[in-house]
Chains A and B, each alone.
Chain A
Amino acid sequence: MDTSENVDEPESNPLEEPEEDRRDFLQKAACVALGGVVTLVPAGSAITVLVSPLFDKSVGGLKVRLTSIDSLEVGGPPKLFKVVTERQDAWTKHHTSEIGSVYVQRTGQGNTPSDFQAFNSTCPHLGCAVEFLDGAEGYSCPCHDSTFATTGEVLNQSSPSPRGLDSLEVEIEDDQLWVIYLKFKPNVTDKIPVA
């Protein structure tokens, strides 16, 4: 509105001009100031609420029990497990909710965490769910044809995925297999955890 200031100002008597101008200027300044206040209060509170998701910065690994280690064969193919946990979705508290899935393979002879390999089943490219293909001996993403070796590395160099599958930390307690479940930022070379 203030862009059109002084458009078609009526010619005034030169003698009265300074007085008139000051009064006019003060009036306009007051308009702009008051207009600013009455706009900023509702708009400001609206924007604060609008961007409230940005205030929540929590990034945390969730420790989830997947299975007992006996259910995985030494040297067998990877098995898919659902990640079931308590989950808070805005106001709703879900006591059990499936929040994702994890591929686990028993690669070593022992019963230590290093004998197991776990991958988040989310494709690091753009978030589709990868599948383990028995015949192909590796993982493949049905969306954009990224392929991954059983070790998680990108198999076919023409794959659009910028990095290999995201491995997850494994823990063993009383013959039970746990993973620290995390999600990672898609479509970047580095593995960056996200909330």
Chain B
Amino acid sequence: MKGIFNWLDERTGYRGFVKDALFESVPGGARWRYVWGSTLTFAIVMQFITGIILWMFYSPSSQTAWESVYFIQEEVPGGWILRGIHHWTAQVMTVLLLLHLLQVVIDGAYRAPREINFWFGMGLLGITLAMSLTGYLLPWDQKGYWATKVATSLTSTVPFIGDSLQRLVVGGSEYGHYTLTRFFALHAGVLPFLLIGLIVGHIYLFRRHGLKVKQPKKGPDVYFWPDQILKDAVACLAVLMVVLVFVFWQHGAHLSAPANPAENFSSARPDWYFMFLFQLLKYFPGNETILGIAAPIWGAVIVPGALFGAFMMLPFVGAMKWRLPVVNWRLGDFCATFFLILCIVGFVALTYIAFDHDYNDPDYAPGFAASVEQANRDAARVKALVKANGGIPPEGALSLLQNDPLTQGPRLFASNCASCHAYGGEDGLGVAVKETSAADLKGFASREWLTEFMSPDHIETDKYWGNTAFVNPEEGDKKSKMVDFLFDEVAEYGDEEKTMLEELIVGLSAEAKLPAQVELDAAASETITQLPELLEELTCLDCHHFQGEGRRPDLTGYGSVEWMTAFIQDPSHKRFYGDRNDRMPSYGAVNDKPAKLSDREIGLIVEWMRTPQRETP
């Protein structure tokens, strides 16, 4: 064995290299404050290992990026752990970088002769942040898509070259395949390459200048191995533990719904360590100029650039040797430390204000919370759809959400129907509807809904016709005959007629063939067959017709998919309200007017309205 090592050493001199690496002197003994560089190296190694394996499972295109990340997260054995480690190590790395920077400035390790190494370190900070930024987009989910859009739009504010720069970054004028391929090449190719180069330089210079020893020394000099390495290893273990706690707590890393350029995602935010920049932009109104330069350029380019520039100048600031009286503190160290603390206070304050605004501002927080909830619902729903479909169609997972009634129905209802109707008192998306001018459609055509509708106690409430012209006619018009019928006839019903009405409602509701009532309908099949006679006996057919031509509105197939679709397409059709229609517009193409909603969209609304639960992901 020894022979082999001797043979190797004679040809490579590896023993000298290992000796240099391990027996670096640590003057004054090993200390915990020296561990930050090692924990960062450890974090980077973790990112390389996990990143390369993730690379083997990732497919950068707008139809496969989300899909492949979904597969890693949900299907590949152990995939969620790997993705989780990669995601959370990136987060922890940002904290470690800040701690490392803090320690370097406080210990005066940024000053001559270590200026260049400090700049290398600042370069590494920049590259790491660029890795985070590019990595955030790669899952191509709503969160990454909209947050990164903000970042790339910012590049266009750079003077002179901004527009070209943005085109280069995005790979064209619009987000698409080439945005992903570019970001991926940066994230997994260019940036890691630069990172390795700078790390080699950083460690070389560190070794050249030696450790900047914290005075006063605590003990005798030791070697790096094993004294300092033990402390480093304990710190690395602590880092790993923190990462794993997050990985198991969050079951990997969150993946929101697939990116949808047509669906704004107002709760999209950059990662927490960019929130201060996000907040900073709010202080530079778009229509103002400062010193002749548009304010947004200050917020996006000049201020952050000046800040970075100021950091790069720290070694020169730190060179001021004059000492402050009384405390005997070097002026340079005082200024550098003061500047750093100022930056940290600013960072913390801006970050806090940004989060506080999202979560606590009374005008803003409810909308933000609703947006977050909606996004979480979509994220859960798309996963359920993929599982139900047994895979993702070749056109991508977004198509599953776009054709899903439970996802699109409430959205279409909120934007097309909720200005008059409510759905369980809400607009379909969970926002309470305060003023309605038509019936609440939750449970439409169900036994419960019809029972209340057919009751004089309920028909004039807001939930039914209380705000319609059927109850409050315009001057000169009469109340609906249906309302008169309820008050004049139904209100006077005896027990026998009440039973008949109950049976009629069971039969009429069965016309809708509601999915939730399948079992109830099957159990009441005998009652249901009596519907035509009951309609006749309770004089409904004096006004309505059932199975055949006649008076309106048509009760044949009342509340069924076909009936509801035709009704929404044209409620003024003679089959429905005819000229007695209150204010409901025709959503289909009628009289050469173009359709307000496509048949597909109406179908999505109808199917959703007939499905009792909104919450099911």
Contacts and interface: CB of A to CB of B under 8 A. Distances in A.
Contacts of A27: 226-227, 230
A45 B19 contact: no
Contact of B392 (A1, A42, A50, A92): A92
A96 to B, nearest CB: 10
B46 interface: yes
Interface string B214-250: 0000000000011101100110110010001000000
A88 B244 CA distance: 32
B21 to A, nearest CB: 8
Interface stretch (A11-19, A33-41, A173-181): A33-41
B85 A7 contact: no
Interface in B51-108: 52-53, 56-57, 64, 67-68, 70-72, 75-79, 81-82, 85
A24 to B, nearest CB: 7
Contact of A34 (B53, B75, B230, B244): B230
A91 B75 contact: yes
Nearest to B75: A91
A38 B237 contact: yes
Contact of B391 (A28, A46, A49, A93): A93
Nearest to B89: A42
A48 B226 contact: no
B393 interface: yes
Contact of B389 (A38, A49, A93): A93
Contacts of A93: 389-394
A8 B75 CA distance: 52
Given A90-B71, A92-B67, A93-B391, A45 B81 contact: yes
Given A31-B230, A50-B56, A55 B15 contact: no
B23 interface: yes
Contacts of A43: 49
B38 to A, nearest CB: 11
A157 interface: no
Interface in B16-59: 18-19, 22-23, 42, 45-46, 49-50, 52-53, 56-57
B493 interface: no
A86 B78 CA distance: 27
B18 A4 contact: yes
Given A24-B226, A52-B76, A93-B391, A4 B19 contact: yes
B255 to A, nearest CB: 13
Contact of A1 (B18, B57, B236): B18
B182 to A, nearest CB: 23
Contacts of B390: 88, 93
B5 interface: yes
Interface string B377-398: 0000000001001111110000
Given A8-B23, A27-B226, A91 B392 contact: yes
Contact of B77 (A4, A38, A55, A92): A55
Given A27-B227, A91-B70, A93-B389, A49 B244 contact: no
A94 B244 CA distance: 36
B49 A42 contact: yes
A42 B15 CA distance: 28
Interface in B380-433: 386, 389-394
Contacts of A49: 53, 57, 72, 76-79, 81-82
A28 B230 CA distance: 8
Given A45-B78, A49-B82, A50-B53, A30 B230 contact: yes
A31 B236 CA distance: 11
A31 B46 CA distance: 18
B45 to A, nearest CB: 8
A31 B18 contact: no
A58 interface: no
Contact of B229 (A24, A31, A52, A90): A31
Contacts of A7: 15, 18-19, 23
B67 A48 contact: no
A140 B78 CA distance: 45
B221 to A, nearest CB: 11
A46 B82 contact: yes
B391 A88 contact: yes
A91 B71 contact: yes
B46 A42 contact: yes
B22 A4 contact: yes
Contact of B236 (A38, A48, A92): A38
Contacts of A50: 53, 56
A3 interface: yes
A188 B22 CA distance: 52
B226 A38 contact: no
Contacts of B72: 49
A7 B64 CA distance: 54
B42 to A, nearest CB: 6
A88 B461 CA distance: 54
Contacts of A35: 229, 233
A8 B16 CA distance: 11
A46 B236 contact: no
Nearest to B390: A93
A88 B71 CA distance: 12
A8 B19 contact: yes
Given A27-B226, A49-B82, A34 B234 contact: yes
B36 to A, nearest CB: 15
Contact of B50 (A37, A46, A92): A46
B395 to A, nearest CB: 10
Given A1-B22, A37-B237, A91-B70, 17 more contacts: A1-B225, A3-B18, A4-B19, A8-B19, A8-B23, A31-B226, A34-B233, A34-B234, A34-B237, A35-B233, A38-B233, A49-B82, A88-B390, A91-B64, A91-B67, A92-B67, A93-B391
Interface of A: 1, 3-4, 7-8, 24, 27-28, 30-31, 34-35, 37-38, 41-43, 45-46, 48-50, 52, 55, 88, 90-95
19 contacts: A1-B225, A28-B226, A34-B230, A37-B237, A43-B49, A45-B82, A49-B77, A49-B78, A49-B79, A55-B77, A88-B390, A88-B391, A90-B68, A91-B68, A91-B391, A91-B392, A93-B392, A93-B394, A95-B393
Q: Which 3 A-B pairs have the closest CB atoms?
A: A93-B391, A34-B233, A91-B71
